[in-house]
Every structure is written in C-alpha cells, then in structure tokens.
Amino acid sequence: MSMSEPLSSPAVLGDARPADPASAEVVLSVRDLQVSARSDAGLVPLVHGLSFDLHRGETLAIAGESGSGKSITSLACMRLLPEPAVRVTGGSVNLGGTELTRLSEGQMKPLRGARIAMIFQEPMTALNPVMTVGRQLTEAIRTHEPMPIRAARLRALEALRAVRLSQPEKRLEQYPHELSGGMRQRVMIAMAIALRPDVLIADEPTTALDVTVQREVLDLLRDLQRELGTAIILITHDMGVVAEMADRVIVMRKGSVVETAPVAALFAAPREDYTRELLAAVPRIGQGAARPEPAGRELLVRYDEVSVGFPIRQGLLGRVSARVHAVEKVSLDIFRGETLSLVGESGCGKSTMAKALVGLVPHSGEIRIDGKSMAALDAKGRKALRRDLQIVFQDPMAALDARMTVGELICEPLVIHGIGTADEQRARVRELLERVDLPASAYQRYPHQFSGGQRQRICIARALALKPKLIVCDESVAALDVSIQARVLDLLRDLQRETGITYLFISHDMAVVENISDRVAVMYLGQIVEMGSRDQLFTNPQHPYTRRLLAAVPVPDPTRVRAPSPRLTGEIPSPVWPAGSEPARLQLTDIGGGHLVALDASA
C-alpha cells in the first residue's frame, strides 16, 4: 500500500484485532533480557528476566508504575540505551532472525525506522529543534528508501495527513517549537509510520493528546495493524487504552514481570494483588463521587469578552500578515471553593486561558479577580495579586530549577514576597512537605532525585506556600501513572475540603475531569461551546462536539465494543486568520451519520 492510499477506519473496536495473533509469525522474540545501570557500588539491575514473543499483527501492552522498567525495555529493543551507563547485560532480542544485541551501531541503523520504529513519549526531546518538520520527515524517509526529494516530501505530506494534522503543507515548513505538544506528538507518529515498519514500539504515544486526537491515533494504529500486519508494543499507563488496543498484557514492577495474560483475562480476573491495585486506581466515567455544591457561590474570577491573539510576521520588515486567535471573546465565571474544568482538543486555547489569568500573556477584554481588574493594577498590585494565584504545570521537571534543593524551591515564593522569618519559612516548608506526603529528608535533595509523581507533589507544595485562593492545574496529572495520579487527585480534593481553595483544572482526560469537577467548560478553537455542571455535561451533553469528546474516551473494559466515533469531515479548521479580518464564530453541527462539520455561526 502506498502512502497516498487512504487508511480505512474500522467500524467497531473488534474489527482491528487478528482472530488469533498467537498463531501468526513471531516478528520479535525477547528472552531473559537483563538491563543494568552502572553505579559506584557496581551494576544495578533495571530489568531482569524479561521474556516474550511478539507476533505479526499483535498488540502487546506493557503496563506498570513509573520506574517499573517499561521504557528501558523499549530502548533496549531499539538499541538506544545510553551506553555504557546503561546497557544490556544478558539475554537476547531477536528481530525476525536478526540478533540485535550483537549488532554494531552501523549495522543497527538501517533497521531502525525501516523494520523496527519507535514513537517516543517526549516529542520535543526526540525532534531536532533546528530542522523543520518537513526536513526531518524527508530525511528519515530518504535514509531508508532512496527517492527524489519531491517524492519524499509527498510521502511526508501524506503521513501528516494520516495523523490528522491541520494545514499539513504549512507544518512541513515549521520548526518543532512552533507546534503544540499534541501536534509534535502527531509529527513523531507520522515519522514512525512513514516507512511501514514490522514492529512499532509506542512509548506513551497518547499521553500528551486530547481524547479526540487520541481516538484518531489509536484508530490509525489499528488501521496499520489490520492492513499491514504491523506488530505493536504499547507502553502506557492508561488502562483504557490497554483495554481497547491490546491482545496481551505484561504487567511490570521494579524491573520484573508481575503478571502476563490475554487482555480479557487480565481485566476480568487479575491474579496478582499489584495488578488488582493498578486496575482499581483507574478513573472511570460514571463513577465520580458526589460532590456537595460549593457554599455561597461567591464569585472569585470573571472573564469578560477575553481574547488572546498572537501575530504572525513575514518579510524583511516583519509586517503582521496574520494572527493566531488562540482565545476569542470568552466570558466565564469561577466561584470560590469550586473546581472548574476546561476541556478540549490540543490548541483549543485551554492553557492560553490559564496564562491570561496569571498574567503570562497579554489579552483584550477584562479579567477580574476578587473584584479587582488586572488591567487597572500597577506592578505592585499585580505582585500582590500573584499571591492569590498559583499554577501547577504539566511537566514538573521543566517547572523546577534543577540547581535548587526542594527546600529552596518551596521556600522561594515566601522569600520573594517577604513572608516570615527564616525559621518560620523553614517550618512552613517542612509542614508543606508533610502535607503532600513527602519525607522530611526531601528538604535537602534535588528534583532529579525524585520520581515524576513526587516531583508533581513538590510543585503542588510550592503552589501552596503562599496560601493562594486559586490554583491552576494545567494537565498536572497527565504524565502520571494511574496509581500516582489517584494519590495526587486525592491530595487536591483533601486540600480543597480543608482550605476551601479554588481550582481551574485543565485536562484532556475526561474520566479524571468527571471525578474531580464541579462544573465543566468545553472549548473548541478558542471558544466555549458548552458549559454546565459535571452531572449535566456527562449525563446529558447538548453540543455535538461534547458528545464527540465523550464518545472518544477509552473505556477500561476489553469486552465492550465501541460504537463508531463521530468524525470531523473535511479540513480541520485553523485558528490563523489574515490580519485585519474577524475570526468566524464557529460551531460544530451534527449533519447525521455520526459526522460533524464546522460552520460559521457569525454569518
């Protein structure tokens, strides 16, 4: 099949799975794999005794907590371990008769991408920041299949279209930093599928994606598998994705296999306690606990016709030729003591809304916090206001200064605002460490010495240092495995009950949103298309786009046959409009047959 041939879409979930993957050809065989890291005390085992066979057309999921050895296993199969610090110390990895552990780097290069490819979890670190998307894609294609540059560009363009990237011709000319996280991940997936490899290793491929784009990506992977027999190793902490995609599951913990079973058997009757704990921690739509109505409904934040745009400059003089309308005339109220969630696709304006609130991006319209207009405040007033507003970012490692100890990081807001004596500040930090369930010894340690979940707790402790009235949680649990995610969400709920704090919760995980929210606002292309209480939105969604979001959520039940997802028809709309023109007031309209189309509601 050529890249120009469209990929068909399965009607239901079950269509994508081979009738009996175990009877198919073995394309990758791993036997007694041992991976170790160097330390002053000698070799420390990271993965020990891992064995499995991967059959053509099969999806094997590897699940487990952070640090269980999932990603290390995938890097060992790709021969991408950071040797000699981390290396394979025993066992074998056999790809279709070729023993990979014995190959030199020169012998391995032709196999990567062509026969075994990988979708990395962190696209920004995997993509070259000084090369355009088009150049990176065409270079990868031409390395394995010599062809004219024009033909390679056409192949790259079709790969971007296959992963539903808007304006693919424009994306070819852009650099990775010009794309959102979800867009970068789609570029990574396009690069991995462009050469139709026998084995595709997907390391948390949908962590940074909203549910609708995730649905498109999962459908795409199933299309490849059905039509080409691609074997997939899926590494994920999302058990809903495991249930929908996997044929077999390996559960890992601390470098060892805890349990291996067909997906239906594992979800129906897990044998091991750890597996049962993992499945019990999965948030499910329809199981959100009842939440009492916040008392008083006292207004804390008001967005009044707020817009945020970014100019696009071209030519030697840098004239503004177009504008990205990230947020367009949004009005929104947030009440004291509630959790308001913002949901929507990547690039819809969720994070921009949060950045406008905390003063990180300029905006038009008015934002009032506790009755005070941000625009009317001077520098001193804005600094005082920031005591009441804090933000917890998606990537805790990027948000924490690696050169500072945890104690210094949590104490820094107190120092900046001149709150308390040195002894009082240290006591406050120790109190916060205890509050987020971190040991007192964390005070003198550095961020890199903690797991992802622990680093996110450090960020929460730092945000709480000034006793703010509102915390913005911007995808703050997206990268955490389910058990750690559950503990962080419990912590946020406990803090709200005890202190009455308000949350603006930004997430693409609809099950998490349903579990933590009081109200939910749905965004699309910088505009709010539906808003209501949690129960209203999840039990009786009114807007077709909201119904599409909910239909796309993976369900942690492998026996459930999913109905066809509603899909947008035609080109994905763009938030970029020529300079001087007014953006359309878009709405999504159901035109029947499960199809949605974007219409100009302002016409």
Q: Three-state SS across 56-114?
A: CCCEEEEEECCCCCHHHHHHHHHCCCCCCCEEEEEEEEEECCEEHHHCCHHHHCCCECC
Does residue 313 lie within any of the structural domains? yes
Does residue 550 lie within any of the structural domains? no
Per DSSP bridges, beta strands 595-600 and 567-568 are parallel
Residues 406 and 450 in one domain: yes
Does residue 321 lie within any of the structural domains? yes
Residues 420 and 517 in one domain: yes
pLDDT value, residue 596: 45
Residues 100 and 136 in one domain: yes
Whole-angstrom distance, CA of residue 418 vs CA of residue 7: 60
Among 523, 544, 565, residue at a domain's last position: 544
Per DSSP bridges, beta strands 231-235 and 199-203 are parallel
Residues 90 and 212 in one domain: yes
Does residue 586 lie within any of the structural domains? no
The answer to whether the CB of 561 falls within 8 A of the CB of 579 is no
Better pLDDT: 600 or 193:
193
Residues 174 and 306 in one domain: no
Residues 271 and 303 in one domain: no
Residues 315 and 195 in one domain: no
Among 247, 280, 313, residue at a domain's last position: 280
- 240, 399, 542, 556, 593 from 563: Cα distances, Å: 15, 40, 19, 15, 12
Does residue 288 lie within any of the structural domains? no
Scanning 176-315, the segments in alpha helix (DSSP H) are 181-193, 211-228, 239-245, 263-268, 273-280
pLDDT value, residue 10: 35
Q: Which residues, 6 or more positions from 19, have their beta carbon under 8 angstroms from its beta carbon?
A: none
Any idea how long the chain is? Answer: 603
**What angle (nearest 5°) sits at the alpha carbon of residue 92, between those of residues 88 and 96?**
130
**Residue closest to 440 by CA, chosen among 431, 453, 448:** 431
Better pLDDT: 44 or 322:
44
* Least confident span in 217-221, 240-244, 442-446: 217-221
Provide the domain count of the chain. 2
Q: How far apart are the first and last CA of the chain?
A: 42
Residues 312 and 208 in one domain: no
What is the tens place of the pLDDT at every residue in 470-487? 999 988 887 677 777 787
Domain containing residue 329: 299-544
350 sits in which H/E element: helix 350-357
Among 280, 307, 330, residue at a domain's last position: 280
- 30, 436, 535 from 335: Cα distances, Å: 55, 25, 17
What's the one-letter identity of residue 568? Answer: L
pLDDT value, residue 479: 67
pLDDT value, residue 563: 58
What's the CATH number where 455 sits?
3.40.50.300
What is the tens place of the pLDDT at every residue in 319-343? 767 777 788 889 999 999 999 999 9
Whole-angstrom distance, CA of residue 384 vs CA of residue 466: 11
pLDDT value, residue 372: 87
Per DSSP bridges, beta strands 59-64 and 231-235 are parallel
Q: What is the DSSP letter of 282?
A: -
Residues 242 and 390 in one domain: no
pLDDT value, residue 565: 54
What's the pTM?
A: 0.74
Does residue 551 lie within any of the structural domains? no
Residues 260 and 326 in one domain: no
Average pLDDT of the chain?
Answer: 82
The answer to whether the CB of 576 falls within 8 A of the CB of 312 is yes
What is the tens place of the pLDDT at every residue in 376-424? 888 888 888 888 899 988 778 788 898 999 999 999 999 999 999 999 9
Does residue 568 lie within any of the structural domains? no
Does residue 120 lie within any of the structural domains? yes
270-284 burial: b if 16+ Cβ within 10 Å, else e: beeebbeebbebbbe
Residues 334 and 247 in one domain: no
**Residue closest to 456 by CA, chosen among 492, 418, 510, 413:** 492
Residues 237 and 343 in one domain: no
pLDDT value, residue 584: 54
The answer to whether the CB of 41 falls within 8 A of the CB of 102 is no
Residue 600, pLDDT above cutoff 80 = no
Residue 9, pLDDT above cutoff 60 = no
What is the tens place of the pLDDT at every residue in 483-518? 777 878 888 888 898 888 999 999 888 888 998 999
What number of other Cβ atoms are within 10 A of residue 202's Cβ?
27
